[in-house]
Structure 1
Amino acid sequence: MVKTPISPTHKVSKVEGLKEKSNFLREPLATELLEDTTHFTEDATQILKFHGSYQQDNRDNRVKGQEKDYQMMLRTRNPGGFIPAQLYLTLDRLSDEYGNHTLRVTTRQGFQLHGILKKNLKAAIAAIVKSMGSTLGACGDLNRNVMAPPAPYKNRREYQYAWEYADKIADLLRPQTGAYYEIWLDGEKFLSGEEAPEVKAARQQNGHGTTFVDKEEPIYGEHYMPRKFKCSVTVPGDNSIDVYTHDVSLVVITNNEGELQGFNVLAGGGMGRTHNKEESFPRLADPIGYVAKKDIYALMKAIVATQRDYGDRFNRRHARMKYLIEDWGVEKFRTQVEQYFGQPIEPFKPLPDWKYEDYLGWNEQGDGKLFFGLSIENGRVKDEGTFQLKTALKQIVTQFQLPMRLTANHNLIFYDIDPDHKNAIETIFNNCGVVTVAEKIDPLTRYSMACPALPTCGLAITESERALPGIIEGIRTLLNELDLGSEEIVIRMTGCPNGCARPYMAELGFVGSGPEAYQIWLGGTPNQTQLAQAYIEKLPHKEIERFLEPLFAYFKQDRVAGESFGEFCSRVGLEALRGFSETYQPIERVKLIKPRRIRKHQHRVSVPDEMFVQLKEVSEKEARAMNQIVKEALEAYFAK
């Protein structure tokens, strides 16, 4: 018998009750979608997440006494970051018709569309599904997008295995409820590809109590998971997907002939935490063992069942699998997994050292064709002035019908490129002002990441995506003044402690801790194999460069050969860093570096209530943001 996930003798969170009453993710979402309102209730938004959308409001447009500017963020689910040409062109169109005219590559290899109004949400999701895409399970308390290295090597079988099993694990753990197609496509079911027969069989196989027999959700049951659950599949040595940060990471193991034998398994990673809550913390995954290829689905179900049945369903801050493993210890966790698995887990196989790869620029893919990796600053695909990235991507996909793979560092890879098309593709990028040579990109920008944060993320405490470019500009100036201009430092920033851009693995991590203030983390490594440590709790934005100067000076003075900034901070320790900073004498300047510009609309203009009502009506009718309408009206006025 499967253990009942929710015991009647234990308290559970409100969200657990909502899941139980939702009729497998249908209500109250389905009913509220039909209502002529600008937003969903809080109960419906919890269920909406499972369908791949968060309800947000644009905080730049908040006016006291007036309704929030409600918008939906829509996220795609595409294992291994795979985006076919048809799907990309649909997303590009939807971003203009219903969104804010941009796309956002996520740090889990998906796309996000921002600015969608409630009334347009159904049309947007239906269009995505009909173009070989999906949003089901991109958010919510279940398995999220399964990640894999984006490199499309056709002559390296381990990379093909990683793609294959990212797809298969995603299929195995995909929600089986009919709610998604009922709500968004009126019951019409579209599939982007047929499931492998062994995946279908594995999902229904009960074995040792991992499955709910004759239930609409055979793996999840009516309560789904205690919290989000994240997986990846990679190859030995390739850490392009931050292997230690997932609930489960599988590492492809092949024999000398390149044939797949099985998988090393790591479990218990996760980045989310909460300020001033010591029971919440980032954690690296632990090696669990090795499993043969034939048993991988049973092992995955056993891990899911362990977290499903024993994870914390009362305190959502303590509900990720990393806390279960931290509380139990690896041995107890492995023992419980083996009970569901029905056999011992074999010892972990030796692996080479991990290395971060971003695959930028032109590369051979091993079959006579090319692939091209493009750096996208903070993942934002947009047109802005002479920089016309969105236009360039649309032209290239339309003309050459190229598939793409999104990366975990929110970049993009085109592949299956005919070598004869290389010059034409380069010309399109050059005409649109897009830099294609990796060496011309500042390394601080190349290896950085930031979450969207303000103005749309409801969890954001402060800026991230809009602030990081200016902060990097200031850091680069400081490094140049200290004769450290060639340094490559992995910098990551989030507007809150949830860690979407994985700042706790960075050499220099910024975590929003207050308005225009950040908690600073130091000591991660360039290859993302070591957890950073919290160094200062709340650093004002304007003090960043003054704060970093002594740390960089100490690094320059006492580093060892080949040592990165993060490795240096970890080696000398936080107390030594503090001691040096306290006695450091700043370098003399003509003037201090001025605080860097935050890319946001700083100024606000109020309008009379009756005009706001008219503006909102036009915004909803034309599916355009209110600030865009106002901008166009003012441009027309000043052009007279």
Structure 2
Amino acid sequence: MEQSTFFGRSAPLCQPSCSRPNGHSLADRLVVCVATPARPPTAKVAKRSKVEILKEQSDFLRHPLMEELVTEEPNINEGALQLMKFHGSYQQDDRDKRGFGKGKAYQFMMRTRQPAGLVSNQLYLTMDDLADQFGNNTLRLTTRQTYQLHAVLKQDLKTVFSTVIKNMGTTLGACGDVNRNVLAPPAPFKDRPEYVHAAKLAEDIADLLAPQSGAYYDVWLDGEKFVTSQMETPKVTEDRAFNGFGTNFEGSPEPLYGSVFLPRKFKVAITVPGDNSVDLFTNDVGIVVMSNDAGEVQGYNLVVGGGMGRTARNATTFARLADGLGFVHKDDIFHVMKAIVAAQRDYGRRDDRKQARLKYLVEEWGIDKFRTVVEQYFGKKIEPLRPLPPWEFKDYLGWMEQGDGRLAYGVFVQNGRLKGDLKVALRRVIERYELPVIITANQNIILTEIEPSWKSDILNTLHGAGVRDVVDLDSIDRTSMACPALPTCGLAVAESERSLPDINLRIRALMTKLGFDEGESFVVRMTGCPNGCARPYMAELGFVGDGPNSYQLWLGGSPNQTRLAEVFQDRVKIQDIEKALEPVLYMFKQRRRPGEALGDFTARIGFDALRQYAADYVAEGAAAKLPKLALAEDVFASLEAMAAKQGKSISHLASETLRSSLCT
């Protein structure tokens, strides 16, 4: 194992306290588990964060959570709060409900784990009931194809969790320093074996990387491990137990995670060639199912090191796209996934949680070194990537044929919030026809297994609740996303979910004013903080909250989510969004290439040119209020012709020309 110096001596980068077959004694292994920066601080040595120590002392996520859940207080303490995440829940404070002198309005958000976004009819109805009985009468569809149930009180947690478990759901692995929900295309196609395989693989990898200690059942079912009707694939069980190359902790209740689990959250997405409905490159690991012409799976292309999270004004944190790792054969996928997890577990930073995601390890090492370390845990070489077609974003909205005689219907859910008439109408048709559903990574929902004879009744019911068909959606709304942000997210510094619908309307109005066609659109995403939960750094236009009613503007992502955006402007107040966007959109309209998207245009033209253009841009409504300047008729005619040629207004070109002349 690679050596790094810390605590004044040379030692393996990671020494978890669980036993591994590597010759170290238990006494040696009780030092620390911490990977240090490439240049460790000289004034004081790196040491584990408080969360790392808490995890190790928790008896595999049991204490002090179990003790805190039975107190009379409406909240749990910091230690229990950290452990609660591993069980699929965050403690929150509803800032809208705070009263003067009353302190925080504590509540809990519960998140489910739904590999590939698949939800049985039974679980859908259960979640709908829980939202009304114990939540805030809404359900949130997340960007990772899961549910979030908000506003659960501490006293109701055990009832809510146990109800989910007993109705074939789970929250285990939805949060915390473990593998999170595994994404896959929400394709309902029964006659496309590659899509069917991707969904099954998502379920298998979720099982492979799920915590194993049983603490989850101790906390929520008093130790009764509820037996579901779906047993994990035998190969998952077999490959998890395999320890030929040191991926496992022998004899540990957590064979892959050990007592300290992972340094931070870990995200996996699976797709098929060409389908980027899952934002593949934003994940710690992206898996592409590679099939032959007969539709038989041959193996998988792998990418690693993607991630969106960053911290405001901290240049050492950044969004990153995944790099190509290579190709592995079909039978090796579980082994290589364990190898990647083990590399991150043993070498990921544990002294600084802001630097603990896999993307920082890949960035520091480079993909070649990372591949070499993974191969040591894998036990064989990873082959070069296989060729792929261009990527395309698919939203799976509207009517689709499943390929088995039945239909599926993708329903648009603005920002993923199921509430009011929409929630009631969906409940009605899902219950009436016993439909399962699929949650998409774009916060929408797909009704599946629909007999053609049911189509008319389903449409009438949904239209009566105000559900818009795909053809009636504004194309900006159709691809936009927002995180929940205020009032419940503790990290939010600005609005997101509650603001984006109005901002989309304002963007459309601005585009209409500038003469864009009604169908013109681009990908808009918004978050209330830099954490990037709605993946704004992949958007053509991203809004990232950086203060009360204030946002950073990010530009340059691609329509198919394969290129990172960059920050264009800081601290744009919500009332000034049109002022900031109008020069960009006007320049785009005047100078774009045929069929060019906004993100591609801004990436091609460059931010220096955009900013220069914006500096001298004169809005149509502002020209009448500015000082007047008389010009000779021939000069004006020349100016008018030059402005038309350059795609600028006369006022814009005049300001630019005079500014340049006066500054020389």
Among 262, 270, 276, the residue aligned to 2:299: 262
| Per-residue Cα deviation, 1:9-52 (whole angstroms, up to 9, x for no partner) | 85010000110011000010001111111010011100000000
SS of 2:621 mapped into structure 1? coil
Question: Retained in 2: the 8 A contact 1:236–1:352?
Answer: yes
SS of 2:219 mapped into structure 1? helix
What does residue range 39-188 of structure 1 map to in structure 2 within 5 Å? 39-188=75-224
**Is 1:577 the counterpart of 2:581 in the alignment?**
no
**Is 1:458 the counterpart of 2:490 in the alignment?**
yes
Q: Which moved more, 1:561-570 or 1:185-194?
A: 185-194
The separation in 2 between residues aligned to 1:184 and 1:589, in whole angstroms, is 62
Aligned to 2:254: 217
- Equivalent residue pairs, number: 587
What does residue range 228-377 of structure 1 map to in structure 2 within 5 Å? 228-377=265-414
Question: Retained in 2: the 8 A contact 1:492–1:503?
Answer: yes
The separation in 2 between residues aligned to 1:29 and 1:348, in whole angstroms, is 44
The separation in 1 between residues aligned to 2:117 and 2:194, in whole angstroms, is 17
Aligned to 2:15: 4
Q: Which moved more, 1:407-416 or 1:424-433?
A: 424-433
| Cα drift, residue 589 of structure 1 | 7.7
Aligned to 1:195: 232
| Cα drift, residue 225 of structure 1 | 0.4
SS of 1:187 mapped into structure 2? coil
| Per-residue Cα deviation, 1:551-603 (whole angstroms, up to 9, x for no partner) | 000001100001011111000000110010011110128999xxxxxxxxxxx
Question: Retained in 2: the 8 A contact 1:375–1:411?
Answer: yes
The separation in 2 between residues aligned to 1:187 and 1:434, in whole angstroms, is 43
Aligned to 1:419: 452
| Per-residue Cα deviation, 1:444-503 (whole angstroms, up to 9, x for no partner) | 111100000000000001100001111111111000000113311100000000000000
SS of 2:110 mapped into structure 1? strand
Question: Retained in 2: the 8 A contact 1:29–1:44?
Answer: yes
The separation in 1 between residues aligned to 2:564 and 2:623, in whole angstroms, is 38
Output the TM-score relative to the length of structure 1. Answer: 0.90
The separation in 2 between residues aligned to 1:189 and 1:398, in whole angstroms, is 29
The separation in 2 between residues aligned to 1:74 and 1:149, in whole angstroms, is 23
Aligned to 1:32: 68
SS of 2:278 mapped into structure 1? coil
Question: Retained in 2: the 8 A contact 1:288–1:348?
Answer: yes
Q: Which amino acid aligns with 2:237?
A: K
Aligned to 1:596: none
Q: Which amino acid aligns with 1:282?
A: A
Q: Which amino acid aligns with 1:464?
A: S
Aligned to 1:618: none
Aligned to 1:609: none
Among 30, 38, 58, the residue aligned to 1:22: 58
Aligned to 1:506: 539
What does residue range 403-418 of structure 1 map to in structure 2 within 5 Å? 403-418=436-451
Question: Retained in 1: the 8 A contact 2:347–2:361?
Answer: yes
Aligned to 1:447: 479
| Per-residue Cα deviation, 1:353-406 (whole angstroms, up to 9, x for no partner) | 0000011111111111111101100000000xxxx1010111011101111110
| Per-residue Cα deviation, 1:54-75 (whole angstroms, up to 9, x for no partner) | 0001001223421211010000
Among 401, 407, 430, the residue aligned to 1:397: 430
Q: In the superposition, relative to structure 1, how do residues 591 and 545 fare at CA in structure 2: closer, same or farther (>3 Å)? A: farther
| Cα drift, residue 172 of structure 1 | 0.2
What does residue range 442-591 of structure 1 map to in structure 2 within 5 Å? 442-484=474-516, 485-588=518-621
Aligned to 1:630: none
The separation in 2 between residues aligned to 1:93 and 1:12, in whole angstroms, is 42
Aligned to 2:242: 205
The separation in 2 between residues aligned to 1:4 and 1:303, in whole angstroms, is 17
The separation in 2 between residues aligned to 1:328 and 1:65, in whole angstroms, is 51
| Cα drift, residue 186 of structure 1 | 1.3
Q: In the superposition, relative to structure 1, how do residues 230 and 470 fare at CA in structure 2: closer, same or farther (>3 Å)? A: same
Question: Retained in 1: the 8 A contact 2:33–2:350?
Answer: no
Q: Which amino acid aligns with 1:4?
A: Q
SS of 2:487 mapped into structure 1? coil
| Cα drift, residue 190 of structure 1 | 2.1
Question: Retained in 2: the 8 A contact 1:132–1:191?
Answer: no
Q: Which runs of 5+ in 2 are unaligned?
A: 2-11, 17-31, 35-44, 626-664
The separation in 2 between residues aligned to 1:240 and 1:459, in whole angstroms, is 27
SS of 2:399 mapped into structure 1? strand
Output the TM-score relative to the length of structure 2. Answer: 0.87
SS of 1:119 mapped into structure 2? helix
Q: Which amino acid aligns with 1:260?
A: V
Q: Which amino acid aligns with 2:393?
A: Y
The separation in 2 between residues aligned to 1:424 and 1:177, in whole angstroms, is 47
| Per-residue Cα deviation, 1:325-355 (whole angstroms, up to 9, x for no partner) | 0000000000000011111100000000000
Aligned to 1:433: 466
The separation in 2 between residues aligned to 1:418 and 1:475, in whole angstroms, is 39
Q: Which has the larger radius of gyration?
A: 2
Q: In the superposition, relative to structure 1, how do residues 169 and 343 fare at CA in structure 2: closer, same or farther (>3 Å)? A: same
| Cα drift, residue 433 of structure 1 | 1.9
Among 381, 388, 408, the residue aligned to 2:418: 381
SS of 2:48 mapped into structure 1? coil
The separation in 2 between residues aligned to 1:591 and 1:411, in whole angstroms, is 45
SS of 1:526 mapped into structure 2? coil
Question: Retained in 1: the 8 A contact 2:412–2:478?
Answer: yes
Q: Which amino acid aligns with 1:486?
A: G
Q: Which amino acid aligns with 2:487?
A: P
Question: Retained in 1: the 8 A contact 2:406–2:450?
Answer: yes
SS of 2:342 mapped into structure 1? helix
SS of 1:588 mapped into structure 2? helix
Q: In the superposition, relative to structure 1, how do residues 81 and 591 fare at CA in structure 2: closer, same or farther (>3 Å)? A: farther
SS of 2:620 mapped into structure 1? coil
The separation in 1 between residues aligned to 2:444 and 2:226, in whole angstroms, is 28
Q: In the superposition, relative to structure 1, how do residues 191 and 450 fare at CA in structure 2: closer, same or farther (>3 Å)? A: farther
The separation in 1 between residues aligned to 2:470 and 2:15, in whole angstroms, is 53
